[in-house]
Structure 1
Amino acid sequence: MFEAGAMPNVRRLYVKIWPKDINSASGCRGGFDDIGIQHLSSLAELCVSIYCQGTRAADVEAVEVAFKSMAEANPNRPKLEMRRYQAEEMLKDDE
């Protein structure tokens, strides 16, 4: 998604993500693991909203691990804030 040199002045990035939709589009659980956060050279803060409705707990956790890894891959080590929404509507892993 973000290639080298993309958005050189962005300091704060807000991401809203629906893991259920990623899994449907990709045809597999987990969906993605790299959208190029490491290329955002001025990034200081990464805010991720995860919408859990209809998503397995393991898939939500995989998204959290992926974003943590992406933030750590950025040379600036941006502050990472992740929040779960609709967590009460998350599926159990056996559903």
Structure 2
Amino acid sequence: MPTHAESIRAFRLYEKTSKNGNTYLTGRWGGAKVAVLKSRDVADDGSAMWDVLLSPAPERVKPEVSNTTAHPSPPTNGLVPERGPSKLSDEIPF
């Protein structure tokens, strides 16, 4: 039987509320917009049913990269500062 440890996250959905007060989920899955809407239909056991709708997502606008840095490096007077131990040997926490 599969466990959650074997699962991977495909994408995230965000809970929203419509103007009419209805709850729905929305997000992106690669090049598709995803919307999950509560159906007016009901399952045989009376539980709610949800419809998953996909549509083409608009291209994302990539921010322009500026040539200035937010935090300029302090002057080194031509000296290279000593470096501590490499962080590459740290264990990855997953």
TM-score in same-fold range (> 0.5): no
Greater per-residue strand proportion: 2
Larger RCO: 1 or 2 (CA < 8 Å, sep 6+): 1
Q: Whose helix proportion is higher, 1 or 2?
A: 1
Q: Structure 1 length as normaliser, TM-score?
A: 0.19
Structure whose alpha-carbon radius of gyration is higher? 2
